[in-house]
Amino acid sequence: MTVTISPPAAPPSPVTPKAARHRNPVRFVVLAVLAVLLLLILAPLLVVAINAVKSPAEYASNGPLSIPTSLYWDGIVDFWNRVNFGQKLWNSFVTSLVVAVLGVLLSILNAYALGIGRVKGRVWFLVFFLVANLLPQEVLVYPLYYISKEIGLYDSLIAVVIIFTVIQSAFGTYLLTSVYAEFPRELLDAAEVDGAGRWRTLWRVVVPISMPTLGVLFTFFFIWTWNEFFLPLVFLVSNDNQTVPVALGVLQGDRMMDATTTSASALIGILPALLFFLIFQRTLTRGIAAGAIK
Amino acid sequence: MKRHGYAPYLIPGVIASVAVIVVPLVMTVYVSFTKWTGVGSPRWVGFDNYTRLFADSLFWASFGHIALLIIAMAVIPTLLGLVLAAVLFDYIAKHFGDRWAGLFRSGYYVPQVLPVAVTGIVWGWILHPGYGALNRILEAVGLTGLAKDWLGDPDYALYSVMGVMIWFQLGYPIVMFMSGLQRIDPSLYEAADLDGAGWWQKFRRITVYMIRPEFYVVLVTTTIASLKIFGQVFVLTGGGPSNATLVPSYFAYKNFFEKAQVGYGSAISTVLTVLIVILAFVFLRLQNRAEDRA
pLDDT beyond 90 at A192: no
DSSP assigned state of A10 = P
Q: Do A34 and B121 touch (CB under 8 A)?
A: no
Give the minimum alpha-carbon distance from B263 to chain A in angstroms, rounded to a whole number. 10
Average pLDDT over residues A210-230: 89
CB contact under 8 A, B257 and A246: no
Range from B2-6, B182-186, B243-247 that averages highest in pLDDT: B243-247
Q: CATH 1.10.3720.10 occupies which residues in chain A?
A: 85-290
Mean pLDDT across chain A, nearest whole number?
85
Among the residue ranges A4-18, A53-67, B272-286, the one predicted with the least confidence is A4-18
Whether A4 shows a pLDDT value over 60: the answer reads no
Phi first, then psi, for residue A89 (nearest 5°) are: -60, -45
Its CATH class, for the domain covering A85-290, is mainly alpha
* Bridge-based pairing state of the strands B34-35 and B43-44: antiparallel
Max avg pLDDT among B169-178, B191-200, B234-243: B169-178
- Give the residue-averaged pLDDT of B194-199: 84
Determine, for residues A1 and B230 on separate chains, whether the beta-carbon distance falls below 8 Å: no
| Cα of A286 to nearest chain B Cα, Å | 8
List alpha helices for chain A, DSSP H: 26-52, 56-62, 74-83, 85-111, 122-134, 138-150, 157-180, 185-193, 198-201, 207-209, 211-227, 230-235, 244-250, 259-290
**CATH: 1.10.3720.10, 1.20.140.10, 2.60.120.380, 2.60.40.10. Which one for B53-293?**
1.10.3720.10
What backbone torsions phi and psi does residue A201 show, to the nearest 5 degrees?
Answer: -60, -40
Degrees to nearest 5, angle at CA B240 with B237 and B244: 115
Pick from B27, B113, B238: which is nearest to A277 by CB? Answer: B113
C-beta separation of B53 from B59 below 8 A: yes
Tell me the shortest Cα–Cα distance from B122 to chain A, in angstroms: 6
| Nearest C-alpha in B relative to A288 | B176
Partner residue facing B272 (CB), from A42, A63, A136: A136
Mark which residues 142-161 of A lie under 8 Å from B by CB. 142-147
Smallest Cβ distance to A138: which of B19, B272, B280? B272
Cβ pair B151, B134 in contact under 8 A: no
Angstrom distance (rounded) from CA B92 to CA B111: 22
Q: Which residues of A touch B105 (CB under 8 A)?
A: 285
The three-state secondary structure class of B259 is: coil
- Judged by average pLDDT, the poorest of A37-46, A138-147, A253-262, B209-218 is A253-262
Q: Roughly how many angstroms between the first and final C-alpha of chain B, as a whole number? A: 33
Yes or no: say if B230 and A230 are a contact pair by the CB < 8 Å rule: yes
Give the contacts of B166 (CB within 8 A, at least 6 positions apart).
B72, B73, B76, B77, B80
Angle, CA B174 vertex, CA A272 and CA B151 arms, to 5°? 65
